[in-house]
Amino acid sequence: MSEGMVETPAEGYEAAAGHPLEDVRIIAVEQYGAGPFGSVHLADLGAEVLKIEDPRAAGDVGRYVPPHQHDEDSLFFETFNRNKRSLSLDLTTPAGREVFEDLVRVSDAVYSNLRGDVPDKLGIRYADLAHLNPAIVCCSLSGFGTTGPRRAEPGYDYILQGLTGWMSLTGEPDGPPTKSGLSVVDFSGGLVAALALVVGIHAARRDGIGRDCDVSLFDVALSFLSYQATWYLTAGDAPTRMSYSAHPSLVPFQNFRTADGWIVVACPKEKFWQRLAAVIGRPEYAADPRFVDFDARRRHRDELGAALSDIFEKDTSAGWLERLSAAGIPCGPVNTLAEALADPHTEARGMVVETDHPRFGPVRQVVSPVRVGDIPVPHRRAPRRNEDAGYVLEKLLDYSPGPGTGLSAGPISLS
């Protein structure tokens, strides 16, 4: 810690009564983004997430991601690790393994996001741990899963966006293949892993028997091809990139330039198209054979798109959005990040919260969209590395402090 910094303990550790997952304890052998993104939603729902950080690597690499990073503190790490606890533990040493196995005995799940071949090597699959706790659920999130020819390959979001065809569907037709502006594969993979883990725990509590959950970013990304994959696999129809971020089959459903910006207009039902024709002053379009239904508009998308573009450029975004909204037509502005975070609906939904951090001061961030019940969710900052060693070892495992005990032996790193 830098000179002059005042260390303050994280507050609000005890989940308020009634939170959905307050009786769930998860050992999280996690790092970076995908895994922590999944478990942070579980922590927000009241689960006790014990984050295992490898002292050989100075903890989660997310602590060192720039910008806004100093020593072991980063805003990147804060985003993915609020409401968790940290224990520095080397699972490859006998002492570290002993502490880990003791935690398995008193936990519901072991959650990891490591390369697909690593859970076997570390001995953190169900077959390795069932003798300690027959109901333990072992959820592995990896790039390519624990089986298959790519299992030992590292998998990262951008690589998966390219590999599974996402980039080929994103961007303008005459531009290069383009990734999403967000790490959507990582985030969706984390959410799927969190769902698998909760389902596994439910089944274990019902049956008394745990199991492995094998989730891969590859599988998740491929599954998100959804109906476009069905079109190709069944009808040989390979979707391509569309101009102005247009929907591949529904027209109009795309971005339009206005006199001062961009808006999104969508007509996923015929009634919306009929309303739009009236709002833009072209009521005859509703009955025009070229535009009369979904298929006709799809076949004449270029002609219709050009006509609508000319019309929308004649007024401002605010002017169009007011008229479109009044008519009940799905629409919205193409906001900047700042505009989205300042939207009145963002505040009304309570999507931004604040935690206090000893280095950064007030940290404002968006929170989990998962809402179960109406009990307010307490939020606390992400833990400093190994901050919760005392709690885990003394309270959970009933280790006695002193020489030769778990509190001072090799598995715990106080550096």
Catalytic residues: 247
Rounded Cα distance between 71 and 87, Å, is: 18
In one letter, which amino acid is 367?
V
**Is 103:392 a contact under the CB 8 Å cutoff?**
yes
Q: Which helix (H) or strand (E) holds 331?
A: strand 331-333
Q: How many alpha carbons fall within 13 Å on the CB side of residue 371?
A: 7
Which DSSP string do the residues of 24-36 spell out, in sequence order? -EEEEE--TTHHH
Rounded Cα distance between 225 and 232, Å, is: 10
CA angle in degrees (0–180, nearest 5) for 347-349-350: 65
Which phi and psi (to 5°) does residue 163 adopt? -65, -40
Rounded Cα distance between 105 and 25, Å, is: 11
Tokens of 55: 């002292």
**Ramachandran assignment for 123, one of left (phi > 0), alpha (psi -120 to 50 degrees), beta (any other):** left
CA angle in degrees (0–180, nearest 5) for 352-11-193: 60
Residue 311 burial (CB count, 10 A): 15
Q: Strand ranges (DSSP E) for 9-136?
A: 25-29, 48-53, 69-70, 73-74, 85-88, 109-112
Identify the DSSP state of 414: -
Tokens of 98: 């002993």
In one letter, which amino acid is 411?
P
Rounded Cα distance between 382 and 404, Å, is: 30
Look at the block and give the residue holding tokens 């519901």: 108
